[in-house]
Structure 1
Amino acid sequence: MSNQLPVINLMGPTASGKTALACQLYEQGNFELISVDSALVFKDMDIGTAKPTQEEQARYPHHLIDLISPLEVYSASQFVDDASALIEDMHSRGKTPILVGGTMLYFKALLEGLSSNLPGTDYAVRAEIEEKAAREGWEAVYAELCQVDPLAGQRFKMSDKQRITRALEVFKLTGEPITKLQAEQPKNLPYKYNFHNYALMPDRLELHKRIEKRLEIMWEIGFLNEVKGLMKKYDLDENLPSMRSVGYRQALDFLKKSDQTGEKQREMEDRALFATRQLAKRQYTWLRSLQEKHKFTTYFTIEQAQEDLRNCHG
């Protein structure tokens, strides 16, 4: 449709090279960049999130970076509101937005719309659920979920603590199963945006090498010192959304313990590497799920993507 606004979505797992690709595109055309990354919204979290440096941001300005402190919460709903306003503004100035990142939940929310009938987070209810878990174990919490929302019980594993908590929270606030409310979710269609979806999905072995290299550099340039600085500046705990980011959770746990030998540090670094690989695995799964519903162009190498996107949008 001629009145639809073009939006380029550039998705990929961590360390796939998508940010570098977006910056190259930025140089070639009339584009602006919007970050789609739930970790980059946090101020003072730079090294562990692979945030573009101040010099890089000056050359390639990214929107939706450094929005809130590590103590605050940023939701998919807020992302959709912020990104939509930016997209409108960019088009009013004759620019084409490139949305780049690896937080697939945000892309999904933008592509498919959000359920307007789901309540926001209620920390008192969450605390009640977590207290029950501490008192009776997650088995009891999971059993309660299976009783009030059997479909969610089938979908979630007992290890999916965040999803179980959210599902029970929604039931306690609304009296309705989250699966029922999600099934009634309105779609933002017909959509006023014309999405051009691109996925950068390198070979797993190649990606694992890049992840390992990225983490090596991260430790070398002072990631542990960054987390120490965060601990001095903020009252951090491992349940904050910011501290659920891979690397930060492992470093925070390590720094809070008295045993900080070289051996324990290497174990912590190994756990961070494993968690980052697991994140990439989840991102691949999310991408495949999105590709089942939406039109995508997939690239397995950065070079392939550079050539094609230069021709498409140059």
Structure 2
Amino acid sequence: MSTPLQHHRLPAIALAGPTASGKTAGALALATVLGRQGLPVEIISVDSALVYRGMDIGTAKPTPEERAAVPHHLIDIRDPLQAYSAAEFVQDATRLMADIRARGALPLLVGGTMLYFKALFDGIDDMPPADPAVRARIEARAAEYGWPALHAELALADPVTAARLAPGDSQRIQRALEVWHLSGQPLSSFHTTKKGAGGALPAGDSALYSLEPNDRAWLHGRIAQRFDAMLSGGLVEEVQALRARGDLHPDLPSMRCVGYRQVWDELDFQAARGQGAPLNLAHLRERGIAATRQLAKRQITWLRSMPQRHAIACDQPDAVAALVQAVLQRLGQHTA
């Protein structure tokens, strides 16, 4: 016998939030409650770090037990040497949502990569694809003059993009200059112009729930606790194993992930001090927590630009219960 929830008309539920806001716990609670009411759930990860194999501790990847309890998708699908774009995410997520619905289950999109959510809701702009010849010329100029000089050039062509990039962010500076040379338009203009047809999951056709703290200090405390747990759980050893491969470098998207970049840099500092030099764990902890706070701040800024979201105060004791109740109510409103 079917249950009322099985007749819902929502194509998906989305759960976003800054790092350390409790998204995994909320998603698993939702899957448990909905499953008990006859609506199975499958989770689609919306996270640009979880796609990488061998990067488990620093990404707070769901445990094998959590992944066994609820089907998870888009985790461990790339080697850290490979890139994974927002366009690829939209293509994969769109296919997965259709497959999950065909199985009579509810797709639950969970994560904190806001660019992926934006691409899913608003669509992907037609930016020019990578051009090896243009990239080679940019890299040659960077080798001669340095990336800070190219960052200064970018500031003249695209001040909006340059303002949000560090002078040493070679990967993003290169792409922004590439787009400028190929199209004559700044990269920032593509980010602000929506495609007329909308995205694969138009905002009005889905329910977006956002875990946001009322008290930023609460989130900062969670971030510090989690980074400490990562350090004690083997984050440094995980990055050492990745470095030992010999084919990875700090400018790869995977190694630019928060936590990994700070550990990589600290290991470089240690190597520069000579054999037997101790790792400065206090400095690493300080930089890692600061970088994670900055990430959370950017995520919250993105979320507040999404008017369709339903915010849940994640620093309240009943946050998970409030999320579950809100989703149940929304599903009840959209049954056939």
Aligned-pair CA distance for 1:56: 1.6
Aligned-pair CA distance for 1:67: 0.3
Match of 1:91 in 2: 101
1:299 aligns with 2:312: yes
1:43 aligns with 2:40: no
Long gaps (5+) in structure 1: none
Higher mean displacement: 93-102 or 249-258: 249-258
Match of 2:212 in 1: 201
Aligned-pair CA distance for 1:261: 4.3
Cα-to-partner distance string for 1:73-92 (whole Å, 9 max, x where unaligned): 00000000000111111111
Higher mean displacement: 53-62 or 36-45: 53-62
Instruction: Check conservation: 2:121, 2:199, Cα contact below 8 A.
Output: no
Opposite residue 284 of structure 1, the aligned amino acid is I
Matches of 1:167 and 1:219, distance apart in 2: 34
| Alignment length (residue pairs) | 306
- 1:111 aligned to 111, 115, 121, which one? 121
- 2:141 aligned to 125, 132, 149, which one? 132
Cα-to-partner distance string for 1:34-71 (whole Å, 9 max, x where unaligned): 11000000001000100011122111221100001000
Instruction: Check conservation: 1:3, 1:192, Cα contact below 8 A.
Output: no
Matches of 1:220 and 1:234, distance apart in 2: 25
Using the aligned pairs only, state the percent identity: 46
Match of 2:70 in 1: 60
Match of 1:272 in 2: 288
Matches of 2:280 and 2:235, distance apart in 1: 16
Aligned-pair CA distance for 1:295: 1.2
The 3-state SS of whatever aligns with 1:119 is coil
* TM-score for the superposition, normalised by structure 1: 0.87
1:18 aligns with 2:23: yes
1:313 aligns with 2:327: yes
- 2:266 aligned to 254, 257, 278, which one? 254
Cα-to-partner distance string for 1:109-138 (whole Å, 9 max, x where unaligned): 0010001x2123345533532442343244
Cα distance change of structure 1 residues 265 and 181 upon mapping to structure 2, 3 Å threshold = closer
> RMSD over aligned Cα, in angstroms?
2.6
Matches of 2:48 and 2:199, distance apart in 1: 27
Cα distance change of structure 1 residues 146 and 247 upon mapping to structure 2, 3 Å threshold = closer
Match of 1:281 in 2: 297
Long gaps (5+) in structure 2: 1-6, 329-336
Higher mean displacement: 187-196 or 263-272: 187-196
Match of 1:153 in 2: 159
Cα distance change of structure 1 residues 67 and 281 upon mapping to structure 2, 3 Å threshold = same
1:233 aligns with 2:232: no
* TM-score for the superposition, normalised by structure 2: 0.82
Instruction: Check conservation: 1:34, 1:100, Cα contact below 8 A.
Output: yes
Instruction: Check conservation: 2:31, 2:70, Cα contact below 8 A.
Output: yes
Match of 2:233 in 1: 221
Matches of 1:50 and 1:110, distance apart in 2: 23
Instruction: Check conservation: 1:156, 1:163, Cα contact below 8 A.
Output: no
The 3-state SS of whatever aligns with 2:304 is helix
Runs of 4+ with deviation above 6 angstroms: none
Opposite residue 265 of structure 2, the aligned amino acid is D
